[in-house]
Structure 1
Amino acid sequence: MNIIWTINGRKLKRYALLIVAALFTAGLFYVQGDAFPVFQSTADTEEPRAIYKVATSDKKIALTFDISWGNERPGPILDVLESRGVKDATFFLSSPWAENHPDIVKRIHEQGFEIGSHGHKHDNYSTFKDDEIRQQLVKSNNILRSLTGKTPTLLRTPNGDYDKRVLRIAQELNFTVIQWNTDSRDWLNPGSDKIVQNVVEHVVPGDIILLHASDSSKQTHEALPQIIDRLQQDGYQFVTVSELLAGVKTNIKELQ
């Protein structure tokens, strides 16, 4: 028996468009696989990873500050943290900056804040050869250890740039690579109200929040009091990144 399927022109056109769309989407994921990172738990993979947030129902969050340039903005930011009673935050310091401003590093350390590495040369490490990546991280560690007496275990790469090689080498040097889930975008200097909005309207429990204490971010110290007050009013507790990670299942963003 012969079975004849009849499909009218409109249906045929619809099916053809669906097939083309499916093939295009599959091709896009194949070609740009590295552009579609996914969240996985640490139990699912042994691959090097970068941590963006943790999975928790507790209203704990980490304020993080990157510093790579200038000496005018760190002081006012430290003043705000002190006046608001915030005792736990994490500062990622570029080692050339730290070497040139040991007095500010000392104050950050003496106020009890956690210090992580922001690398040495402020450039995209994914463009470096393996040996140069390693040299940059080791040099940064040595400088920060000489200034604080502690060896950093947290790393935020310059510009937040990394690839699998950077993650692997960082892991070999006993670093945990830390990114962020909520971006204040303070480096754009969009106005203090906008910086506050960028944080408080997007934050969730377990978040790592990106802020800057470099001189190029001119409005962070103006926005910070409102950020702290509003988040505390919403029941959030500020902790260091290490405290956030301790004993909590992490959600990670891993390059495929």
Structure 2
Amino acid sequence: MPKQISAARRSSMVGLLTAASLALALSGCASYDVTAPADARADAPAADVKAKDAKDTKGGDAGGDVDCRKAKCVALTFDAGPSENTNRLLDILKENKAHATFFMLGKNHIAERPAEVKRIDAEGHELANHTWSHQILTEIKPDEVKRELSRVQDEVRKITGKTPTLMRPPQGRTDGTVSEISKELGLAQVLWSVTAKDYETTDSALITKRVLDQTKRDGIILLHDIYKGTVPAVPGILKELKKRGYTVVTVSQLLSPAKPEPGMAYRP
């Protein structure tokens, strides 16, 4: 049985499940919890809210803290790396003082590029899980789902000493079983509201336009640092987002003072 959720979450679930573009609906199973970042912040336990406010009063932490209850935030995320393009992307993010969440693949990516994984972590970005080999989790057995996720957890921990708390299911496809396994592994599920479909074009100007046309407050932007046209689009995206008053954050910053809840699916 799905657990009881707040009215805000129920509202988010209804909107989410009725959206035509919602990848979750492809699974045909809605026996899991879904919430939006704004609802997660509103539902944050009082203790977490007080702790967040106390930290803000002191000027934030050493890495700089953002309060997305007040700021006009948008989360920037990159899937399926690291790749040969990741170091250039990290240079761009550093130049723009922006941080992102990296949903990384294991096979041929984390396993082959541990130096990039270390750099992502060292420069204050968020390490996250995109499975070992990009299998569609709703189409494989539970033991395989667990293996796809846990292998990434183990490899990232071995490289950085940190274990991801976020995962993105390939194609956004999840169901009750995937959610339960994610919960067991301590992983919240993160979907998106903005996609440039950068896997189908190398036109950086088009990628930029698609992102900017879709971005709204509390959005989650999906890009891939493995594709040729994506990284060259990032400087223009960041410049225009800043011009429009957005603060670019990681997914966990977007949710704060709430903490990512294992098994929960987050989507604006």
Name the TM tier (shorter chain): 0.7 to 0.9
Percent of matched pairs sharing the same residue: 33
Residue of structure 1 equivalent to 2:142: 130
Residue of structure 2 equivalent to 1:90: 101
| 1:102 alignment partner, one of 114, 131, 135 | 114
Residue of structure 2 equivalent to 1:204: 216
Give the whole-Å Cα distance in 1 for the aligned partners of 2:102 and 2:166. Answer: 10
Match runs of 1:11-26 below 5 Å? none
- What secondary structure does 2:234 align onto? helix
1:12-62 alpha-carbon deviations (Å, 9 max, x no partner): xxxxxxxxxxxxxxxxxxxxxx9x7159xxxxxxx6335665456741011
Residue of structure 1 equivalent to 2:194: 182
Farther-moved stretch of structure 1 (157-166 vs 134-143): 157-166
Give the whole-Å Cα distance in 2 for the aligned partners of 1:94 and 1:252. Answer: 19
Aligned CA distance change for structure 1 residues 235 and 104 (closer, same or farther; 3 Å): same
Residue of structure 1 equivalent to 2:242: 232
Measured after TM superposition, the shift of residue 247 of structure 1 is: 2.5
Task: Give, as a single letter, the amino acid of the residue that structure 2 aligns with 1:121.
Answer: S
Residue of structure 1 equivalent to 2:252: 242
Measured after TM superposition, the shift of residue 158 of structure 1 is: 2.2
Residue of structure 2 equivalent to 1:147: 159
Residue of structure 1 equivalent to 2:75: 62
Give the whole-Å Cα distance in 2 for the aligned partners of 1:111 and 1:38. Answer: 38
Aligned CA distance change for structure 1 residues 253 and 85 (closer, same or farther; 3 Å): closer
User: Normalising by the residue count of structure 2, what TM-score does the alignment of the two structures yield?
Assistant: 0.71
Unaligned runs of 5+ residues in structure 2 are 1-13, 20-30, 40-68
| 2:32 alignment partner, one of 36, 42, 48 | 48
Give the whole-Å Cα distance in 1 for the aligned partners of 2:133 and 2:32. Answer: 22
User: Normalising by the residue count of structure 1, what TM-score does the alignment of the two structures yield?
Assistant: 0.74
| Structure 1 consecutive aligned stretches of length 4 or more whose deviation exceeds 4 Å | 50-53, 248-254
Kindly indicate which of the two structures has a greater share of residues assigned to strand: 1
Give the whole-Å Cα distance in 1 for the aligned partners of 2:119 and 2:249. Answer: 18
Residue of structure 2 equivalent to 1:221: 231
Aligned CA distance change for structure 1 residues 252 and 176 (closer, same or farther; 3 Å): closer
- What secondary structure does 2:180 align onto? helix
Aligned CA distance change for structure 1 residues 143 and 50 (closer, same or farther; 3 Å): farther
Aligned CA distance change for structure 1 residues 212 and 105 (closer, same or farther; 3 Å): same
Give the whole-Å Cα distance in 2 for the aligned partners of 1:193 and 1:227. Answer: 10
- Give the structure with higher Rg (CA): 1
- What secondary structure does 1:141 align onto? helix
- Say how many residue pairs are matched: 209
Measured after TM superposition, the shift of residue 249 of structure 1 is: 11
Q: Are 2:20 and 1:37 aligned? A: no
Farther-moved stretch of structure 1 (183-192 vs 89-98): 183-192
